Every structure is written in C-alpha cells, then in structure tokens.
Amino acid sequence: MNELEDIKTNINATLKEFNDIKETVQDCCARYMDLHEHTEMLDSLLFQSRLIELEYDEIIKSYKFIDNRMYGDYYKLLHSILSYMKQKNTKYPIYKDLDPYKVYDFLIVKALYEDILKLIQKLEDDIQKNENEIVIHRLKLTTELN
C-alpha cells in the first residue's frame, strides 16, 4: 500500500504542475486581452488555453474514475470475504456503481485494504489450523485401526 501511496503522491504532484501550467496560460490570455494589441494572436492563444483546460478536466475525471473503481473493487472484495465468513460490514461507506466519480478518502481506501489483508491472513490461519487437525485426526485413525 505504501507503493500505491507514493504513486498517488506523484500523480497529485503532476496534476498540480499541470494545473499551474493551465493557470499560467490563462493568465497570458488575460494579459493579452487587456493589451488590446495583436488580437490576431488571441484566437490561437484562447484555443490553446481552452484545449489545456479540457485536457486537464478529462485527466481529473479519469483519475477520479480510477480512484473510485479501486475503492469499489476493495469494497466488493471485502464483502465477498465477509459473506464467506458470515460477517457484516458497517465500517465503510457503501459503494454505489451508479456513482463512478465519487471520491473516497485515501485513508478509507487504505484502511479497507488493510482490513482485507487481515481477513485473508485470518482465513489462511484457519485453513492451516484445519489442515493440522486433519493430519492429527488421520494419524489417530490409522493408529487406532492398527
């Protein structure tokens, strides 16, 4: 999860840089509009500014979509595990497939991930315990039969 946290930090830094560039271009447009000179270049500059803004908005939308899906996949996995273990979840916000751009706090995603790991570890421990009991039971059976 630390690797994911680092990736998320890098993405946020890159998005911040992209936003700074977008704002710089918008400031240039505003300055040229105020000058009322070389207006023939203004159309091209405004087009570039709008294009950068559209691209930024799409990147943010895609980022939210991926972030949301990550939470959704973890949430559904948790519910599958809990269902198998005949337990219920009341700790995490309900995931809604019809709201694919809802942003969940990364701390919630991280806690969800850690709970999944704990449950998987518990299942592995239970399996190991059951396998040990089976081996002991088989030994008893073969010993008593002889």
pLDDT tens digit sequence for 81-103: 999 999 987 889 999 999 999 99
Range with the poorest average pLDDT among 38-42, 69-73, 113-117, 140-144: 38-42
pLDDT given at position 31: 83
Percent of the chain at pLDDT above 70? 95
- What is the rounded average pLDDT for all residues in the chain? 90
pLDDT given at position 145: 60
State pTM to two decimals: 0.77
pLDDT given at position 146: 57
- Taking the alpha carbons at both ends of the chain, their separation in whole angstroms is 53
Angle between helices 106-145 and 2-35 (to 10 degrees): 160
Does residue 38 come out as left (phi exceeding 0), alpha (psi in the -120 to 50 range) or beta?
Answer: left
- Note the pLDDT tens digit of each residue in 33-80: 777 766 677 788 888 889 999 999 999 999 999 999 999 999 999 999
Flag whether pLDDT at 1 surpasses 80.
no
Single-letter amino acid code for the residue at 32: Y
pLDDT given at position 38: 66
What lies within 8 Å, CB to CB, of 100 at 6+ separation is 65, 68, 69
